[in-house]
Structure 1
């Protein structure tokens, strides 16, 4: 891939004991998200040290792809409606990445 893309890195910290349910819901969300036209990849994994900590790595063709994703019925239902209520907290960051240059900037930012 030579074109710039939006990289999203999310850390979800589930309320104690809710990690399994978050993973179940992410499996459903990931499948639907991967079918979105501007989604390039959607991966998630559980921390080996903390079963209630999940890291999500998402890639979109551009920042608009993430905006569109957040408005989809499946994200509204699963993400906002089911996953977020199970979390103590979440940390989400996103960067426009220019492949093979080591360059990443905030969406809309310049460097």
Structure 2
């Protein structure tokens, strides 16, 4: 039986006109996050209709993965230090996804 994992869906809304400024720090954050022991997946997507809106999809091997991610040096520096100050708002939800029962 496969192990359940934590799925995180984040919507980042940049302050008007700041979407371009998010690309580099999000790219660096994605690469660093993928190297975390509990990270299974990390990708971000930019809306073609609103260049200031990004969706980030993350998966962690257990429920503690997101909390541990937020404590990392790279999230403290890039997330709290660079990305979040450029945002109007962010909406983050997380959900446990059951593993295969077959």
TM-score w.r.t. the length of structure 2 is 0.94
1:94 and 2:94 aligned: yes
Mark the runs of 5 or more structure 1 residues left unpaired by the alignment.
102-111
- Over the aligned positions, Cα root-mean-square deviation in angstroms equals 1.4
Distance 1:44 1:100 in 2: 25
Distance 1:84 1:5 in 2: 26
Mark the runs of 5 or more structure 2 residues left unpaired by the alignment.
none
Shift of 1:20: 1.0
3-state DSSP of counterpart to 1:8 = strand
Residue-by-residue CA offset, 1:40-80 (whole Å, 9 max, x unaligned):
00010001110000000000001111111100010000000
Distance 2:59 2:23 in 1: 19
3-state DSSP of counterpart to 2:90 = strand
TM-score w.r.t. the length of structure 1 is 0.87
Q: Structure 1: which 4+ aligned runs deviate by more than 2 Å? A: none
**Is the Cα–Cα contact under 8 Å of residues 7 and 59 in structure 2 kept in the other structure?**
yes
1:9 and 2:9 aligned: yes
Match of 2:20 in 1: 20
Match of 1:107 in 2: none
